[in-house]
Amino acid sequence: MGLKWVDVHDIAIELSEAYPEQDPLKISFPDLYAKVMELDEFDDDPDHCGEKILEAIQMAWIEEAD
């Protein structure tokens, strides 16, 4: 079972492990979207994502990075 868009915190953890050099404060939403789609664990419809979800993932990633 893979990650879905609603798994915001789990996605943030995966991102922080996959891209330790990336500053989540400085990532654009298109880049963030692309990085989520590249995660091996991610398995959800690419069209089911909106700005609010990306914002939530970014905020969770910032918390994870601290």
| pTM for the model | 0.94
Is 3 inside a domain boundary?
no
Quickly state the pLDDT bin for 1 (edges 50, 70, 90): confident
Q: What are the pLDDT digits (tens) for 23-64?
A: 999 999 999 999 999 999 999 999 999 999 999 999 999 999
Residue 27 sits in which domain range?
8-65
CATH number at residue 60: 1.10.10.600
Total domains present in the chain: 1
Residue 30 inside a domain? The answer is yes
Cα separations in angstroms, 5 against 21, 24, 53: 23, 17, 7
Whether 66 shows a pLDDT value over 90: the answer reads no
Count of C-beta atoms within a 10 Å radius of residue 56 = 16
- The mean pLDDT value for 4-21 works out to 97
